[in-house]
Amino acid sequence: EIVLTQSPATLSLSPGERATLSCRASQTVDIYLAWYQQKPGQAPRLLIYDASNRATGIPARFSGSGSGTDFTLTISSLEPEDSAVYYCQQRYKWPPITFGQGTRLEIK
């Protein structure tokens, strides 16, 4: 099973600042990594697929990078509505499809 480790666990930043979230895989996942945003009481929302492709309707301030085992989600200029938990997920080697444990982003 591929284990995804996200860091940091919690991030607290101000509006307008840049957020950098990390996801590290226990073995290569090539580019088959996605990022999701989840707000309280809601389903996860796909932000980025295949490491760097923005999903439909996702603002340009969200970007993804990386390949192999190290990936980054960057939010270039934080908005108050970006407060959420962010998960990475791999679909390279399954079963099982696996998720990271999440990074909680707080906007001050």
Partner 1 sequence: QVQLVQSGAEVKKPGASVKVSCKTSGYTFTNDYIHWVRQAPGQGLEWMGWINPNSGGTNYAQKFQGRVTLTRDTSISTASMELSSLRSDDTAVYFCASGGNTLSHDMRLDYWGQGTLVTVSS
For β-strands 4-7 and 45-49, DSSP reports them as unpaired
Residue 30 engages partner 1 in binding (rule: CB under 8 A): no
Q: Which C-beta is closer to partner 1: that of 62 or that of 87?
A: 87
Contacts of residue 73, Cβ cutoff 8 Å, sequence gap at least 6: 19, 20, 21, 23, 35, 47, 48, 62, 63, 64, 86, 88
Residue 104 engages partner 1 in binding (rule: CB under 8 A): no
Q: Which C-beta is closer to partner 1: that of 13 or that of 55?
A: 55
Residue 107 engages partner 1 in binding (rule: CB under 8 A): no
CB of 97 to partner 1, least distance (A): 4
Single out the residue of 44, 63, 68, 83 in contact with partner 1 (rule: CB under 8 A). 44
| Residues binding partner 1 (CB under 8 A) | 34, 36, 42-46, 49, 55, 87, 89, 91, 94-102
